[in-house]
A and B are shown apart, each in its own frame.
Chain A
Amino acid sequence: MKFTLNGEPVDINAPPMKRLLDVLREECALPGTKEGCGEGECGACTVLMDGAPVCACLVPFAQARDADVLTIEGLGGDHPLQTAFIEHSGVQCGMCTPGMILAALALGPRPSLARVRAGLAGNLCRCTGYEAIYRSIAAAWARQGIGDRVSDRAGKGAL
């Protein structure tokens, strides 16, 4: 089945009702997307589908046909959000982090704290108490010249 994965067209063979989460981790060999609960309650498996955050555990593979899917691997490892989470202690165990970063990315430039809280309401963290995550997101945008780089990495459809 054809879709776009981290900016590249791909053609992946997998059962239509297999979870996108599992297809990403197995057939696509991208284990960055984590399973926290398997029922859409924690957001650890968040990916961007056509620019919108969704739980990959809730997407049957068939519904990703022709979609533009962005996983944490698509940010390249040195994306400003990734760097900021490390520098500002937004990561402890790391299980929620890929989902947090992608949910944050979908908010676009310089979101207010209120927008960040609402935008990350579907992402649970058991380690940090969230404050360091909010600081990390603010810090990612605070650096000069960040705006274009973030948009470049985010793929089609993201702000």
Chain B
Amino acid sequence: MGAALKLMRREPAVPIAGCTDVYVSLNFGTLAAARFLDLSQLAPLRRITVRGDTLVIGATATYTSIIRSAHVRRRLPMLVAAAREIGGPQIQNRGTLGGNIANGSPAGDSPPVLAAAEAVVVLASADGDRRVPFADYYTGYRASVKRADELIVAVEVPPVEGAQWFRKVGTRAAQAISKIVMAGVRSAAPRLALGSVAPTVVRLPRTEAALAAGAPIAEAQRVLGDEIRPIDDIRSTSAYRRRVAANLLARFWADTA
């Protein structure tokens, strides 16, 4: 790790691990980079452990290892649910949580889970580690607070109170990019996070407040409709996303009752 961080400080390279995103861009000629730092052999980055009551998922933990992890299944089952719906087995065997975060797609499947879990991203550089609450990590479309010389090394997840829920809506059951993706936690203080409705993953504080105040679902759906500003794009329309988001909210509420 030390050598990797010194390398990144001297001349930042593109970090690679599972190669399911960045490597595609390289092969299609849309990534103009010549230097790559292969993180896949750094064993500590792959680990999934529990420290005290914090779940610590290493940045290069693959989706398959997340799905199989007793720690994640017990503490963050909505991440297992998300990992099962990313790509297919081949992608899950290689793709990593850190890579998903770093790729920063607004349609990413793990960010809503991490946002709803109020996870913390651990960034490392030659100067040491720093921790960024997930809510503060993204600053805009595919932009984050991560500096060029930093590596994502882990995600730390505090205990999540309440029933966890995840749903991804795409064109197929597998190998689909989300049209809309939602993660929720049901408790006295419900949490909701949505992907594919904004340039970044978003929490829904007004909808959450309505639910916490005991508003009927129809009212919470109305608040949700006002709270999000989805766009028409290659995968879906604004109207569809609004409608399906409202449906997912009702489904979340019914499923976790």
| B139 contacts A by Cβ under 8 Å | no
Q: Which residue of B lies closest to A43 (CB)?
A: B90
Given contacts A40-B87, A60-B38, A124-B175, 13 further A-B contacts (CB under 8 A): A39-B24, A39-B27, A40-B90, A42-B175, A49-B93, A58-B19, A58-B23, A58-B94, A60-B36, A103-B89, A119-B89, A121-B175, A122-B91
Closest to A18 in B: B27
Contacts of B24 in A (CB 8 A): 38-40, 58
Total chain B interface residues with beta-carbon distance under 8 A: 23
**Contact between A122 and B174, CB atoms less than 8 A apart:** yes
Evaluate contact between A60 and B88: CB separation under 8 angstroms.
no
**CB nearest neighbor in A for B93:** A52
Residue of A43, A57, A63, A120 touching B38 (CB-CB under 8 A): A63
Q: Which residue of A lies closest to B19 (CB)?
A: A58
**Chief secondary structure at chain B's binding surface:** mixed
Which A residues touch B88, using CB under 8 A? 43, 120-123
28 contacts between A and B (CB under 8 A): A17-B36, A39-B24, A39-B27, A39-B28, A43-B90, A49-B93, A52-B64, A52-B89, A53-B90, A53-B93, A54-B90, A54-B93, A54-B94, A55-B20, A55-B90, A58-B19, A58-B20, A58-B23, A58-B24, A59-B19, A60-B23, A60-B36, A103-B90, A120-B88, A121-B89, A121-B173, A122-B90, A122-B175
Inside 8 A of B36's CB, which chain A residues have their CB? 17, 60
Measured CB to CB, the nearest residue on chain B to A117 is B173
CB–CB A60/B16 < 8 A = yes
* Cβ B174 vs Cβ A60 within 8 A: no
Chain B residues within 8 Å of A, Cβ to Cβ:
16, 18-20, 23-24, 26-28, 36, 38, 40, 64, 87-91, 93-94, 173-175
Among residues of B, the one whose C-beta sits closest to the C-beta of A22 is B27
Contacts of A59 in B (CB 8 A): 19, 94
Q: State how many residues of chain A have any CB contact under 8 Å with chain B.
A: 29
CA distance A123 to B8 in the complex (A): 37
Q: Which residues of B contact A63 (CB under 8 A)?
A: 19, 38, 40
CA distance A158 to B92 in the complex (A): 17
B160 to chain A, nearest CB (A): 26
Closest-CB distance, B225 to chain A (whole angstroms): 33
Chain A residues in the interface with B (C-beta under 8 A): 17, 19, 38-43, 46, 49, 52-55, 57-60, 62-63, 103, 106, 118-124
Q: In the complex, which residues of chain A have a beta carbon less than 8 angstroms from the beta carbon of B23?
A: 58, 60
Q: Which residues of the partner chain B approach A122 to less than 8 Å between Cβ atoms?
A: 87-91, 174-175
* B93 CB contacts on chain A under 8 angstroms: 49, 52-54
A152 CB to nearest B CB, Å: 23
In the bound complex, do residue B27 and residue A57 qualify as a contact, i.e. CB atoms below 8 Å apart?
yes
Minimum CB–CB distance from B81 to chain A (whole Å) comes to 14
Q: 6 tightest A-B contacts by CB?
A: A122-B88, A121-B174, A121-B88, A122-B90, A52-B93, A39-B24
Q: Which residues of A contact B19 (CB under 8 A)?
A: 58-60, 63
Contacting pair A17 B94 (CB below 8 A):
no
Q: A17-B36, A58-B94 in contact; A40/B89 too (CB < 8 A)?
A: no
Return chain B residues, CB-CB under 8 Å to A52. Answer: 64, 89, 93
